[in-house]
Amino acid sequence: MATRALPDVAASCETVLVVPGMHCAGCMGKVERALQAVPQVVSARVNLSARQVRVAHDAAVTTPQLVDALSAVGFPSQPRGDDMAPPPSAVKPLLAPVAVAAFACMNVMLLSVGIWSGADGATRELFHWLSALIGVPAIVYSGMPFFRSAWSVLRRGRTNMDVPISIGVTLATTLSFYETLTNGHDAWFDGTLMLLLFLLAGRALDAMMRDRARAGVDALLRQAAPGAMVVGKDGALEWLAARDLLPGMLIRVAAGERLAADGEVVAGESRFDQSLLTGESLPVFVAQGGAVHAGTLNLDAPVDVRVTAAGQDTSLAEIARLMDAAGQARSAYVRIADRASRFYAPAVHLTALLTFAGWMIHGAGLHQSLVVAIAVLIITCPCALGLAVPVAQVVASGALMRKGIMVKDGSALERMSRIDRALLDKTGTLTMGKPTPDAAVIAALPADAAAVALALASHSRHPISRALAEALAARGVRAAPLADVVEEAGQGVRALWQGRAVALRRPEAATGVATTLDIAGMATWLIPFADRLRPDAETALARMAGMGIACSILSGDNDRAVAEMARATGLEARAAASPLEKQAAIAQQQAQGRRVLMAGDGLNDGPALAAADASIAPGTASDVGRQAADFVFLGDSLAALPRAVAASRATMAVVKQNFVMAIGYNVLAVPLAIAGYVTPLLAAVAMSTSSLIVIANSLRLVRAAR
Amino acid sequence: MTGLALLIPLALMMGFFGLIGFFWALRSGQFEDLDGAANRILIEDEAEEEA
């Protein structure tokens, strides 16, 4: 840790900042050093997994000072709100049981090796006692996650994989303890502990995957804390979170800012991009007195808005209500491991019971019948089955994550693998969702003009300027030095370049979105902007079709814009669909027996994303979209869609192979167990071999995300 | 066989210390930020002033 202990500074305050842009050691170093350079900061420590930095500082330092220090080195950050504290990790409660099971398993196994190689009489008795001393407390402690889960489903009259595990573990431990007490021949502490160790490892992997994906998605969600600058009666400005806004408040919305509440424009006029809310791609002009909605983006000029509805009353909240009702198809889905255990658990118990009855009928004593029956239980305990699903899913989601696709949980992979129909939103999903300048015009700009345009554009936070600056910078253009730069809201940017007046301004007359570049003494350039298809869209859609998935467009945008995109992609399309209609379109497909994938980004896609069998959203999507989607892909390329489907299908194929192997091992081992030939040694060997085979098979998924 | 009387408790004791060590690490938050810990060794320290 890099800490400065200055005697005159007391760490009386602690601030946690969310820094979504940190990725590597270099970033960590920069962030920590930048914060420590602020006087009166005592220490700064980055948590890279949570993308946060914890700063201990003197009360004299304010949060904006810290945020400024970070933005000076290129890291946008925000103070963490109370409700944004990371949710408790699912892995951590499992780490201690795994450690205890591993410790006990290794030690008991060591003692067991002595017994297997022929320790006899008093030595064996001593070894059994030692095993029991280590094993019984360890089993009670590390078996708790299973006992608890089994008890909670049994109470509700249902069963899951944990029920046979708990019964098997409890019986085996009791019998082994009895054997130890009566100086018997075999004790099964080693096998029982190994079983617990493997199962806990599988469970920890499953939890790890969910944690990792959630950390990624949370980092994205924390980026956009919705709120607004409220203008007080005395003219004072104060930033309030969206949930604290009340009707009647006056909020000032800067150009390039998203509205946090519904309202009415009371001063100024501007154009608003409603694409996130309705899918409509053309900006809407709103003058004084016009109504504006939460979630829309102010494009041109700052406006003052009187809040008419906030929180639960906004059009946003209406969408949230629709989404709550929509998730039924998904919650009805039963994960493959649970489906398997529905058949497996009764089969195992029946086999053990029949074995016990058979040996009793054949005249064996109660004790011997019980020993054989418990050997059957231990052999059939779903050790490899417990690993079959999580290991495959963890490996596959790791592979997808390296390709920039985050998977929310294992059931998402299972549902995604069964998709045979895909509905895609247009604005922001099929397209980039933001205006990009016409590539032909940009390429035709002379070098000086391009340099001036970049310099002008970089002085404005207007979305159009930023898109232009991005496009020019990507072409390797260097900004020209300017003097006297003035930005006029709603009009453009003016400056002097080598003594000549230059301007980037709103065109006098243009259809659609465009900007005009004026350079005194040179021709005027009109740069049109349009929303473009994502790169690789055509190859991605072709690959989807090749996988037997019929794709079509389901958009809230107007007919003309959608028809244009339908022509470009050759897909069937439906335009002007409301959020409710999108949801209905999915229900209709599901009623026809199709399993539907919804790809969308906007608020208007939220209910559809929640209703579909599986859903995917780009990382640039609205909070609602990212929260509702099973998969979130970063980057611009639409290739993420077929990649996610292909990887999910490969994962399910491997899971099924794993099941076949795990059950195949049972087919071989169970007759031996029923016949009473299984010893603790044989059980230990069989169990570890089958688990290793399942793990090795799952590792093939490392290259699944291609 | 008398060796066992010494070696077995010794082996168990060592394993137990390992387990205690792990629990201590877990309690003291060393598993809070595994990505950060992995990357931290790559940070260059030249700008650091250690008191």
Domain boundaries, given as residue ranges, for chain A? 13-84, 229-325, 401-432+534-649, 447-521
CA distance B16 to chain A (A): 8
- Confidence class for position A2, pLDDT limits 50, 70, 90: very low
Tens digits of per-residue pLDDT, A291-300? 888 778 887 7
Share of chain A above pLDDT 70, in %: 88
Q: Does an H or E element contain A674, and which? A: helix A640-674
Cα-based angle A86, A87, A88 (whole degrees, multiple of 5): 115
Instruction: Please give the ipTM for the structure prediction.
Output: 0.75
Tens digits of per-residue pLDDT, A286-319? 888 888 887 788 877 788 888 887 666 666 666 6
Distance, in Å, from the CA atom of A591 to the CA atom of A158, rounded to the nearest integer, reads 29
Residues A229-325, CATH architecture: Distorted Sandwich (2.70)
Tens digits of per-residue pLDDT, A333-372? 677 777 777 777 778 888 888 999 999 998 888 888 888 8
Tens digits of per-residue pLDDT, A483-526? 788 777 667 788 888 888 888 887 776 566 778 888 877 778 88
Which range of A292-296, A605-609, A634-638, B12-16 scores highest in mean pLDDT? It is B12-16
Instruction: Tell me which residue has tokens 């995957």.
Output: A209
**pTM score, whole prediction:** 0.72
Looking at the annotation, which residues of A are catalytic?
425
Q: Which of A360, A358, A362 is nearest to A350 (CA)?
A: A358
Q: Which residues of A touch B (CB under 8 A)?
A: 2-6, 24-26, 28-29, 32-33, 46-50, 92, 95-96, 99-100, 103, 106-107, 110-111, 123, 130, 134
Total residues found in chain A within this entry: 706
Give the pLDDT score at B50.
Answer: 43
The alpha carbon of residue A614 and the mean position of all alpha carbons in its chain are separated, in whole angstroms, by: 13
| Cβ-defined contact of B26 to A103 (cutoff 8 Å) | no
- Report how far apart, in Å, the C-alpha atoms of A342 and of each of A337, A403, A409, A536, A659 are: 9, 35, 21, 43, 14
Class of the CATH domain delimited by A13-84: alpha beta
Q: What is the CATH number of domain A401-432+534-649?
A: 3.40.50.1000
- Residues of chain A contacting residue B18, judged by C-beta atoms under 8 Å apart: 103
Which range of A170-174, A364-368, A530-534, B37-41 scores highest in mean pLDDT? It is A170-174
Choose the closest CB to A48 out of B11, B35, B49.
Answer: B35
State which amino acid sits at residue B46: E
Distance, in Å, from the CA atom of A432 to the CA atom of A426, rounded to the nearest integer, reads 9
| Cβ-defined contact of B8 to A46 (cutoff 8 Å) | no
Choose the closest CB to B18 out of A46, A47, A103.
Answer: A103
Distance, in Å, from the CA atom of A192 to the CA atom of A375, rounded to the nearest integer, reads 11
Give the pLDDT score at A357.
Answer: 92
| Cβ-defined contact of A25 to B40 (cutoff 8 Å) | yes
* pLDDT for residue A86 is more than 90: no
Pick among 3.40.50.300, 3.40.50.1000, 3.80.10.10, 3.40.1110.10: CATH of A447-521: 3.40.1110.10
Distance, in Å, from the CA atom of A79 to the CA atom of A241, rounded to the nearest integer, reads 12
Tens digits of per-residue pLDDT, A36-67? 888 888 888 888 877 788 888 888 877 778 88
| Cβ-defined contact of B41 to A33 (cutoff 8 Å) | no
- Residues of chain B contacting residue A26, judged by C-beta atoms under 8 Å apart: 42-43
Q: Does an H or E element contain A31, and which? A: helix A25-36
Give the pLDDT score at A139.
Answer: 94
Please say whether the beta carbons of A238 and A438 come within 8 A.
no
More confident of the two residues A567 and A623: A567
- Residues of chain A contacting residue B22, judged by C-beta atoms under 8 Å apart: 99
Give the pLDDT score at B49.
Answer: 46
Distance, in Å, from the CA atom of A3 to the CA atom of A135, rounded to the nearest integer, reads 44
